[in-house]
Structure 1
Amino acid sequence: MENKIDQSTLQVAEIQLSYKTNVKPSLRPKLTGSKDSSVVLMHSWDLSKIELVEQFKVMFTNRANRVLGIFELSTGGMSGTVADPKLIFVAALKAGASGIILCHNHPSGNLTPSQADIELTRKIKEGSKILEIQVLDHIILTSENYYSFADEGLI
């Protein structure tokens, strides 16, 4: 008895992992604290949007706390945006990150984290443990200042 398999049922997508950079490792910004992180993040922000819509970005670092890159995760409305943990971890793994710094802006100018901000940070931190990726900080930006979860003991 010959076993014939329909070849069309065996077609699957090929998955490739890659990370490309045009920045030499020695030229990548080195982070020593929340101030450094906020400066690098603010430099990457579209300042015409910082007081208009909420955006969520993730900065990835290597073991030496040098910035591998910044991933713009989402852009929402005036009072919120979606931060999908799966997409955060996909990007972190693709970049080979050892550390992540979460960041979003508050168009209102209010630096106080919401309960949703705190819960998301907790959720990401919990998920990062099994992947051995350290959540270094969660920064809230406004056009004038920043708030660091790490500096306030919330990480």
Structure 2
Amino acid sequence: MKKQFEEVRLVYRNKTRAIDRPKIDCAESAYRILRANWDNEEISLFEEAKVLFLDNQLRLMSISTVSKGGMSGTVIDPRIVFAIALKRRSSTIILSHNHPSGYLKPSHADISLTRKFHEAGRLLEITLADHLIISEEGYYSMANEGHIP
């Protein structure tokens, strides 16, 4: 009797050549790309989380919206983020979420989430380069403020 099992294949095809992808080597460049890809009509309405997936040269491979929430919060599931990172063969990620209030200081939950992603990334050898909190007025970089080792 023949048993049927699912087969898993790893396949990745990036349609954009590496040389044509923007390099993200600082919080400012990440913020510019995120703002260009954020809906201006929604940034002050509800929380949303996006992740930038970078290759080992810090070139942008893709951007993914990983969560949409309410006015005061959204849930970012590490399993989903790291599944995407592994599938896209990303070696570095930059987390981001907005604060509809415009207040850019991180909450205790934001800092805890950043630490959680840093530790999970270490195990998978995927670097968490930064976690940006953004608004229409600007951004707060967890890396620049010492929240990421």
- Tell me if both proteins adopt one fold, taking TM over 0.5 as the criterion: yes
* CA deviation map 1:44-63 (0-9, x unaligned): 11111101110011111111
* CA deviation map 1:11-62 (0-9, x unaligned): 3333233333321211101112100010011111111110111001111111
Distance 1:108 1:19 in 2: 38
Q: Show the 5 A alignment for 1:90-101.
A: 90-101=83-94
1:21 to 9, 14, 34: 14
Q: Which runs of 5+ in 2 are unaligned?
A: none
Q: What is residue 31 of structure 2 aligned with on the other side? A: 38
1:111 to 104, 107, 119: 104
Distance 1:149 1:113 in 2: 8
Distance 2:107 2:12 in 1: 33
1:47 to 40, 43, 46: 40
**What one-letter code is carried by the residue in structure 1 that aligns with 2:49?**
F
* TM-score normalised to structure 1 length: 0.90
User: Whose Rg is larger?
Assistant: 1
In the alignment, is residue 67 of structure 1 matched against residue 56 of structure 2? no
**What one-letter code is carried by the residue in structure 1 that aligns with 2:113?**
L
Q: For 2:13, what is the secondary structure of its paired residue?
A: coil
Greater than 6 Å deviation, 4+ residue runs:
none
**What one-letter code is carried by the residue in structure 1 that aligns with 2:69?**
G
- Identical pairs, percent: 45
Distance 2:65 2:95 in 1: 10
Distance 2:64 2:53 in 1: 8
- Between stretches 39-48 and 139-148, larger displacement belongs to 39-48
* TM-score normalised to structure 2 length: 0.94
- CA RMSD in angstroms comes to 1.2
Q: What is residue 135 of structure 2 aligned with on the other side? A: 142
- Between stretches 46-55 and 12-21, larger displacement belongs to 12-21
